[in-house]
Structure 1
Amino acid sequence: MGDTEDLDRPGEGARRVRLELDREEIRRLVEVDGGRSRIFLPLEAEAHAGDRVQAEVGIRGAEQTFRLTGQVVAVRHQGRGKGMPRGWEVAVRASHRRALRCLVALADGRPIAYAYREYERHEVDWPAKLSWRKVTAEGRVTDLSLGGARVSGLEVLPSLGERVRAVLRPPALRMALMLKGRVRWLDYAAPARTCGIEFQGGGFRWKRRLLVLLEGLEPPLVR
């Protein structure tokens, strides 16, 4: 059974949970075929059919964590054999079906690609500062492209889907590069807590500055 942490907060309207499962558990507990997109969450906490759920699900040994939203359709109070633990069966929203497929692909050892990382990626090591809501965290940008970045070494991580402002300080620029984006994946492993950011908004000006900066870097990483 995966490690679980119930993040339910009264008044928010949805059960919030975080799980880390091994690859075999993902293969056994996820169903994404045809019109069905379901995941079985091995949780001890009480739930009821119809409860809304927001789950952050990761795989042990993989850096990505995915957010899934859905509704409890069945609750199993007692396991039926070794492969059937207690828990909740959740019908995942159609809009999150791709994330469910990514989970299965990672569990099977198949590579997955994010659309925002299809640009040429460069290995860098620059100071960075992330800000969201009233929180600020410092880290290092270690992987950068025109579409997004990986920021490591953060003391605090934003939530999946959080809108953030990233301030990058490349040595080649006098002024910091300020970008806006959204968090697409998380790695909670200490001490190098890491998040993947998709750049969004900001118009042509920042894209031009970033493009010029990237053109002056070493050959890109293999995608």
Structure 2
Amino acid sequence: MKRCLILMMILGAVLTLSGCEKSYEEDARKTVNQYFAAVKDADLDKAKTYCSPNVDNEFDFDDYKAGFQKQFEALNLSEKTKKQTEEFIDYCIRSSIESYEVGEAEKSEDWDDAYTVPVSIKFRDISDIDIETGQAAANQKLQQYVKDNEDELEKVYTQQGEDAFEKKIMGDTMGIVLGEMKKLIDGQKPEERTAEATVIRKDDRWVISKMTAD
């Protein structure tokens, strides 16, 4: 009787551990899925909540966003035009990942309380697309804009000065340039890439500590 009781206790412990392991696998996989879902929504602040503070991530969307912002900050933009550029940057981030599929989590061989999670991604690397590329694509439309608005532009420059003149041009033409840049992005075929996320347990929650890509 005593032996039977011991066997039942052992069996119960094994089943409990197995259930926890399965739950941990699902939690790790869910963390990776939530991270990519946030990126696809261009919500980088939310995406960060699924990562450790010192995450090693080959998909560094924060740097990607900062690069675009730096280009636009060099221009003389009105608040309205700045909003246009922010919306465009979000569009770029959303367009970077056309789709993704998160695989099954596996226990890490190198770390305790850690899992590796594979991800298949259709990815557009559009970091090389810049404002000058969009301006070149929109060149004909920009020339027509100048031709159609020559008198008004001259009036603004004469009466309001160079700063107002530059802001008017940027405000009137930025939508044209960004529209052409979007066409270039949409025309870029996504590449099939694979990534692997290392997910660790920290403070009773699961976070991504590393993201590698092929």
TM tier, smaller: under 0.3
| TM-score, with structure 1 as normaliser | 0.25
Select the structure that is richer in strand.
1
Task: Return the structure number with greater relative CO, CA threshold 8 A, min gap 6.
Answer: 2
| TM, length-normalised to structure 2 | 0.26
Q: Relative to total residues, which structure has the larger helix share, 1 or 2?
A: 2
